[in-house]
Structure 1
Amino acid sequence: MQFFANINIKPLEPSISYRDKIVLTGSCFTEHIGNFLIESKFNALQNPNGILFDPQSVASSLLSYIENKAYAENDLFYLNEAWNSWQHHSRFSNIDKEACLNAINNSQQQAHAFLKHADWLIITLGSAFTYKLVQGSAFYVEPNEVANCHKAPAQNFIKHLNTIEEIITTFDTVIHRLFYFNPKLKIIFTISPVRHLRDGVVDNNRSKARLIEAVHHLVNKFDKLYYFPAYELVIDVLRDYRFYDVDLAHPNYAATQFVLDKFSETCFSQSTKELVEEIKKIVIAKKHKPFNSQSSLHKKFLQQQLEKAKDILQRHPYLNLEEEIKYFSKG
């Protein structure tokens, strides 16, 4: 008896390798993929603006990286005893204006330099809803689209459900700019399986449907664009509330791992998958907490892991295992 609907995911061609540079941007599910890649020692940069959910915010952030935009003091606003940016996640917010601005601009410069030479850009869209500042509100600025509302009072915003045409038009321009900026860049689109229940079940489904339709239009139109079905793997294959967290909105650990396993299976070559497993053992070994750090047994363990890390580095000198080698050298 078959308990899961089959889903045919074409292997990514060309596949992602350890020699590649990868930029990730978008919703909170982006960070599941990004954290997996970073912990597996891929050369990856994730969410330079912090978490972004809607197409307009993602597109605007990508254009700002291309242009190496420098943010100024008048791009910030003061709310809840902190300086914030409408275009950035609250992880950039700070009680000190200069510290906030420095963090934003340092991230901008890093993103500009990294994207210029990146091999892959992974975009995860979460919602087709955007928020715009109401003209006449105390916070009103131009452009008035915001990526993060920073818990400002609701009366300051207009909520807008982007049409399929608006999403396509927005990304059409950005993709042309991206390919001109970095001709070797390849792009993977995914739709986040996180359910935006605050929009209501009906509007959440309308939102996801528009994202899916727009993304498939773009993938069919452009070369070097690909689609990975993270949304479908959770919603249509797993299809059960036991794969969600207690909020019934976020996929739980089991569901996330299922998606990441499928990502590895379809986006990596066999040699890359084997190297991921080797590195995973080294990373786990580094997290090992010894009962007695001075024991001969633990020192032997460190020496063994050091030799394994050095062996991997000798075979793959482009990897960054500096932290692991430093840790294991303590023995």
Structure 2
Amino acid sequence: MKWRTKVEIAQGAYPIDYQDEILVLGSCFADHLGGKLAYYQFRHLSNPFGVLFHPIPLGHLIERAIEGRHFREADLFEHEGLWRCLEVHSRIAGTSGEATLEGMKEALNVFQQALAKASHIVLTLGTAFAFRNLDKDLLVANCHKLPQQQFRRELTPVVELIHSLSHTLAVIRENNPECQILLTVSPVRHVRDGLVENQRSKAHLLAAVHQVVEGVNIHYFPAYELLMDELRDYRFYKRDLIHPTEQAVDFVWEKFMEAWVDPGAIPVMDRVAGIRKQLAHRNMHAAESLGVAASESLKQKVEALSAEFPFIHFEV
């Protein structure tokens, strides 16, 4: 007897291994994926300018980074004692304009390098609803809790999303022709928009994404469908009934691994996970000695792994 439907996922033509460099951008679900890559110590960069939910502000930021157009003082504003920018997430802020610009300059340089050398770029789209700043006539990345009358909320039409995504993908491809691009729609629901409106939003994103994934080295990973169709139960959501539980994130990660992680990387992942568990056990029982032999064995495991992969580091 079948108890659930299964989402079929195509195997990635160029799966990820430990020699690759991955760039993960977009909604908070991108941070979930980035967290898994960080845990297993893949070379990656995740949302250097914070979470970005809408494809158009995300595309503008990608284009800015590739062109090396640094932010200027005119791009900033002061609110509640901090200097911020409408084009990035609210976590990007400083106590002075100079400090904020300097931090954004460093982040943009890192972002530019990552876009140029990434083997895989994952774009996770969260919503088709956007807020337009009326003074600048700009779809913003974040409203930064500014007065509501400064913005107009709008649902971006599918044709406009297709145009924006096509342009963003073309810019990425021109800058880095060999990279694999994965598009996905976040399963996190934006219930503040309303449940019906959230479904409209996701439908717009899905329609636009599937219009552009037919390009060379452009792929779709069904994170949205895995939560909506294969798990399909509120026990896989946190108390807010919006965000996926750790168990759900682990499930989607397992599906991602099956499709997009090279089997040759699995033994290395197991070694990394084993070391992390030993370190966590040691830290949890700091007052107890692991013993000289156990400590030496752990040290040797770390040194052996770091010798093979110099970018892998542990605090032993």
Q: Does 1:234 align with 2:227?
A: yes
Length-normalised TM-score, structure 1: 0.91
Aligned match of 2:206:
212
Paired residues of 2:14 and 2:180 also in contact (CA < 8 A): no
Q: Does 1:274 align with 2:296?
A: no
Rounded to whole Å, the distance in 1 between the matches of 2:41 and 2:68 is 27
Task: Please state how far the C-alpha of 1:100 moved relative to its aligned partner.
Answer: 1.3
Across the two proteins, how many residue pairs are aligned to each other?
Answer: 315
Aligned match of 2:182:
188
SS, match of residue 303 in structure 2: helix
Rounded to whole Å, the distance in 2 between the matches of 1:291 and 1:147 is 43
Q: Tell me the alpha carbon deviations over residues 14-49 of structure 1, each in whole angstroms, 9 at most, x when there is no partner.
A: 111111111111000000001110121111011121
The letter of the residue matching 2:138 is N
Q: Does 1:253 align with 2:246?
A: yes
Aligned match of 2:197:
203
Task: Please state how far the C-alpha of 1:104 moved relative to its aligned partner.
Answer: 1.0
The letter of the residue matching 1:310 is E
Q: Tell me the alpha carbon deviations over residues 112-155 of structure 1, each in whole angstroms, 9 at most, x when there is no partner.
A: 11211111110000000111112xxxxx23x5221000011111
The letter of the residue matching 1:244 is Y
| Closer/same/farther in 2, CA of residues 156 and 183 from structure 1, 3 Å limit | same
Aligned match of 2:92:
92
SS, match of residue 91 in structure 2: helix
The letter of the residue matching 2:33 is I
Q: Give 1:174's match in structure 2, choosing from 168, 174, 177.
A: 168
Task: Please state how far the C-alpha of 1:311 moved relative to its aligned partner.
Answer: 2.5
The letter of the residue matching 1:21 is E
Rounded to whole Å, the distance in 1 between the matches of 2:246 and 2:143 is 28
Residue identity over aligned pairs, in percent, reads: 34
Aligned match of 2:38:
38
Task: Please state how far the C-alpha of 1:270 moved relative to its aligned partner.
Answer: 1.4
Q: Does 1:306 align with 2:280?
A: no
| Closer/same/farther in 2, CA of residues 171 and 291 from structure 1, 3 Å limit | closer
Rounded to whole Å, the distance in 2 between the matches of 1:148 and 1:114 is 23
Rounded to whole Å, the distance in 1 between the matches of 2:77 and 2:101 is 11
| Closer/same/farther in 2, CA of residues 284 and 96 from structure 1, 3 Å limit | farther
SS, match of residue 93 in structure 1: coil
Rounded to whole Å, the distance in 2 between the matches of 1:11 and 1:180 is 25
Aligned match of 2:158:
164
Rounded to whole Å, the distance in 2 between the matches of 1:268 and 1:104 is 32
Task: Please state how far the C-alpha of 1:290 moved relative to its aligned partner.
Answer: 5.5
Q: Does 1:152 align with 2:146?
A: yes
Aligned match of 2:312:
321
The letter of the residue matching 2:223 is A
Rounded to whole Å, the distance in 2 between the matches of 1:292 and 1:23 is 36
Q: Tell me the alpha carbon deviations over residues 163-217 of structure 1, each in whole angstroms, 9 at most, x when there is no partner.
A: 1110110111121111111111110011100000000011100100111111111
The letter of the residue matching 1:213 is A
Rounded to whole Å, the distance in 1 between the matches of 2:103 and 2:119 is 25
Paired residues of 2:26 and 2:58 also in contact (CA < 8 A): yes
| Structure 1 vs Structure 2 CA RMSD | 1.5
SS, match of residue 247 in structure 1: coil
Rounded to whole Å, the distance in 2 between the matches of 1:191 and 1:150 is 24
SS, match of residue 7 in structure 1: coil
Rounded to whole Å, the distance in 1 between the matches of 2:256 and 2:36 is 10
| Closer/same/farther in 2, CA of residues 320 and 285 from structure 1, 3 Å limit | farther
Rounded to whole Å, the distance in 2 between the matches of 1:276 and 1:116 is 26
The letter of the residue matching 1:233 is L
Rounded to whole Å, the distance in 2 between the matches of 1:27 and 1:205 is 16
SS, match of residue 34 in structure 2: helix
The letter of the residue matching 2:97 is K
Rounded to whole Å, the distance in 1 between the matches of 2:83 and 2:292 is 48
SS, match of residue 287 in structure 1: helix
Aligned match of 1:64:
64
Rounded to whole Å, the distance in 1 between the matches of 2:286 and 2:22 is 39
Task: Please state how far the C-alpha of 1:232 moved relative to its aligned partner.
Answer: 0.5
SS, match of residue 124 in structure 2: strand
Task: Please state how far the C-alpha of 1:292 moved relative to its aligned partner.
Answer: 4.9
Q: Does 1:15 align with 2:15?
A: yes
